[in-house]
Amino acid sequence: MNRLQFGIVTATSGLALLAMAASLTVTTMNRSLQQDIGLRQQYVQQSAQLESLYRDIVRSLAELAARNNDQDVRAMLAQHGITYTANPPAAAAPAAAPVRK
């Protein structure tokens, strides 16, 4: 093997070694990103399961605040972007007028 061939083989093997190192680095980074995505997916799935519970809690708090006219709870809900309007209590129905024949 002459000097030129030796130089070409050495350069080619050096490039192959760099390519292998880059491949290992990308694989490691990809594995880390996949783990992060898995954790985020788990969080989203758990959040979706708890959504109905959260909705019931907010509804109960709003009903309680409206029933007791609790301004602190109303302010706390408003701070989180939740507003509600209380329906006025139903008035007693007027007595029926006697029917004339």
Residues 6 or more apart from 76 whose CB is under 8 A from it?
61
pLDDT at 95: 56
Residue 85 in any domain: the answer is no
Range(s) of the domain holding residue 19: 3-79
Contacts of 31 (CB under 8 A, 6+ apart): none
Q: Which two tokens stand for residue 40?
A: 């985020």
Residue 100 lies in a domain: no
The label of the residue with tokens 């809690």 reads 57
Q: Is the pLDDT confidence value at 91 over 70?
A: no
Q: What pLDDT is attached to residue 85?
A: 81
Q: Quote the number of domains for the chain.
A: 1
Section 37-55 average pLDDT: 92
Task: For residue 31, tell me if it sits in a domain.
Answer: yes
Tell me if 101 is assigned to some domain.
Answer: no
- Residue 99: predicted pLDDT: 60
pTM of the full predicted structure? 0.46
At 48 the pLDDT is: 87
Does residue 99 lie within any of the structural domains?
A: no
